[in-house]
A and B are shown apart, each in its own frame.
Chain A
Amino acid sequence: MWEMASQRIAFGKTLVEIGKENKDLVVLGADLSSSTKTSFFEKEFPERFFNCGIAEANMMGVAAGLAASGKTVVASTFAVFATGRCYDQVRQSIAYPALNVKIVASHAGITVGGDGASHQTAEDIALMKVIPNMKVVVPVDAIETKKAVRAIIEEEGPYYMRMGRSDVPTITDEGDNFKIGKASMMREGSDVTIIATGIMVSQALKAAEMLRLEGIEAMVVNMSTIKPLDSTTTLMAAKKTGAVVTAEEHSVIFGLGNSVAITLGEKYPVPLKRVGIPDTFGESGEWNELMIKYGLTPDDIVSAVEDVIKQK
């Protein structure tokens, strides 16, 4: 089975590496730097790290001002605060002028666990992807996190990158290509496609193994950029397999499933089901218990696949 590794630690370490090369990189935190692991950067480059305290709105504005003065800025806190608490600051001060600010959030989704609904978020992708100029990246594991951080810092303009709190299975290799806006093929298959993002990609791979025993060959796609969506891969997969299931640790209302549904609905409709967090708030619990309770298991994906195959 896969090894487990922390995306947050991978993020924190990569920031330090980039900080050595890029003297214009400035990192901002909001009293959660030890959780988001920007503390590594703070330790190495105290003069380029600013703790903004428990004041996220100001942090986003400071990020905008630094970026308007030529800096590349990473602003980091929990996903629920980064996207919800200071939505207007992200929209007005950062995205509208398309400034070079990278909002990197941890503790996304419901796998936050014990903190409960106040600290979980199933809405962050929705909030960010609807803002013009904003791009949304969801690296699948610790290895891809390292590549994604580099990529969003190298690219100009605002980005939102989400990570979970818990360790996640390492399912990619150092040698795999990562490109913003490009999905990656995790498993070939001809009967159905599972397009997944984040922690749900490994769940999809487990589901695919279960389906194989039923004689169903599932293609599994890792959609690590939600916006801009890789519509080429999405359409190719739909044409090849004729049925699609999406899987995400996010609200089914306006996340990956929604982006895929729109793309297919407009260009190549096929039977489709979305696996994700239903239209409800989360609760406290162990992350794996929450995955079961909120319908994010390989079994949930398998039954969605069975449904779409019946509709083919």
Chain B
Amino acid sequence: MLKKEELRDLSLKANAVRRHIIEMVYNAGSGHPGGSLSATDILVALYFHIMKYDAKNPKWEDRDRFVLSKGHAAPALYAVLAEKGVFPVEELLTLRKIGSRLQGHPDMRKLPGIEASTGSLGQGLSIANGMALAARLDRKLYNVYAMLGDGEIEEGQIWEAAMFASHNKLDNLIVFLDRNKLQIDGETETVMSIEPIADKWKAFGWEVREINGHNFNEITEAVEWAKTVKGKPVMIIAHTVKGKGVSFMEGAVHFHGKPPNDEEYEIAIKELDEERKEIMGNLGGGE
């Protein structure tokens, strides 16, 4: 269990990240708020509680790696890295603008802290496999984390990568599936049935656990458990809500790849500011 203060700090971080996401996509006039908001709590837990990471030295050899295979959730990753201090928070508003290091999808050559250039779905898990293999070859103890979208696992390469990871017993690989149940054209089960997801990963030789992807205790405990698994890669199916944290975006498929308009922007920011006050109030906070 997380301590009360830890939980408050993570909740405040997640709130700040969500606010950045809304500001970034609003400012850019395009981008993917839905899947960024569903991924936020997991990314915050990883970078602010779980991973061995030095923001001052994002190329530190022994760092844990994180690969955002669902590259369209880049705003969430950028906001987390900026909050972590890898680059200035002010730079977030350059998202998708010409000359920016914050490309529409992550570019590892442009922006520090980005471990893999992703965006074409289905490729990040293979890259994470390569990183996990490299750790073993170099006798390094770092873990490789990755996040897949649920629609993304419709890509065939994911299953090639799933086979490879278990065949090579990559137990330093811990993968989250952001199970927000929606993809661009609608519900995953309408567009292309991906259930039973847990059974599929088990059948491919993975250890699987299902959690609420918005509960910091469940996220951190699942990773603690994953680290104890030997000889197998781990899949954490995180049940999430697309658009989490902004009332009208929650479960709304059209906010997959559409920014809020002026009015929606105001409401979203107001909601997030109110949530912030609530977090501080409920937990006896005050910064």
- Chain A interface residues toward B at CB < 8 A: 26, 47-48, 50, 52-53, 55, 57-71, 73, 88-89, 91-93, 96-98
For the complex of A and B, the 6 pairs showing the least CB-CB separation, nearest first, are: A65-B130, A61-B126, A69-B134, A58-B160, A55-B160, A65-B127
* Complex contact A68–B129 (CB within 8 A): no
Is there a chain A Cβ closer than 8 Å to B131's Cβ?
yes
Contacts of A26 in B (CB 8 A): 133, 137
Q: Digitize B84-116: 1 where CB-to-A-CB distance is under 8 Å, 0 elsewhere.
A: 000000000000000000000001110000011
Our count of residue pairs bridging A and B at CB distance below 8 angstroms stands at 111
Does B164 count as interface, using CB distance less than 8 angstroms? yes
Q: How far is the CA of A52 from the CA of B124 in the complex (A)?
A: 16
**In the complex, residue of chain A having the shortest beta-carbon distance to the beta carbon of B106:** A97
- In contact, A70 and B161 (Cβ under 8 angstroms): no
CA distance A26 to B118 in the complex (A): 23
Given contacts A47-B137, A53-B164, contact A68 B120 (CB under 8 A): no
Q: A50-B168, A58-B160 are in contact. Are A64 and B134 (CB under 8 A)?
A: no
**Known pairs A47-B137, A50-B168; A92 contacts B130 (CB<8 A):** no
For B131, the closest partner residue in chain A by CB is: A65
B127 touches A64 (CB 8 A): yes
Are the CB atoms of B164 and A57 closer together than 8 Å? no
Contacts from B to A (Cβ < 8 Å):
65, 67, 107-109, 115-120, 122-135, 137-138, 156-157, 160-161, 163-164, 167-168
B157 contacts A89, C-beta separation under 8 Å: yes
Given A89-B157, A97-B116, CB of A64 within 8 Å of CB of B109? no
Q: Which of the listed residues A69, A89, A92, A93 has the most CB atoms from chain B within 10 Å of its own CB? A: A69
Chain B residues whose CB sits within 8 angstroms of the CB of A66 once the complex forms: 130-131, 133-134
| Interchain CA distance A221-B220 in the complex, whole Å | 63
| Chain A residues whose C-beta falls within 8 Å of the C-beta of B131 in the assembled complex | 65-66, 68-69
Looking at the assembled complex, report how far the CB atom of B125 sits from the nearest CB atom of chain A, in whole angstroms: 7
Q: Is the interface of B mostly helix, strand, loop or mixed?
A: helix
Assuming the contacts A68-B115, A97-B117, asked whether A62 and B137 have C-beta atoms less than 8 A apart, the reply is no
Residue on A nearest B140 in the bound complex, by CB: A69
CB distance from B252 to the nearest CB of A (A): 29
Residues of A within 8 A of B127 (CB): 61-62, 64-65, 68, 93
Q: How far is the CA of A52 from the CA of B167 in the complex (A)?
A: 9
C-alpha gap A296/B47 in the complex (Å): 59
CB of A62, distance to nearest CB on chain B (Å): 4
Contacts A89-B123, A92-B120, A97-B108; A61 near B134 (Cβ below 8 A): no
B134 A60 Cβ-Cβ under 8 A: no
A-B contact pairs, 24 of them (CB 8 A): A50-B168, A53-B164, A55-B164, A57-B122, A57-B123, A61-B157, A62-B126, A62-B127, A62-B161, A64-B123, A65-B129, A65-B133, A66-B133, A67-B130, A68-B116, A68-B130, A69-B65, A69-B135, A70-B134, A71-B134, A92-B120, A93-B117, A96-B117, A97-B107
Q: How far is the CA of A98 from the CA of B109 in the complex (A)?
A: 8
Q: Residue on A with the closest CB to B109?
A: A97
B119 close to A92 (CB less than 8 A): yes
A57 surroundings in chain B (CB, below 8 A): 122-123, 126, 156-157, 160
Whole-angstrom distance from the CB of B1 to the nearest CB of chain A?
34
Known: A55-B164, A96-B107. A60 touches B137 (CB 8 A): no
Given contacts A68-B115, A69-B131, is CB(A93)–CB(B126) below 8 Å?
yes
A180 to B163, CA, bound (A): 37
Distance, CA A52 to CA B165, complexed state (A) = 10
A96–B71 CA distance with the chains assembled, in angstroms: 14
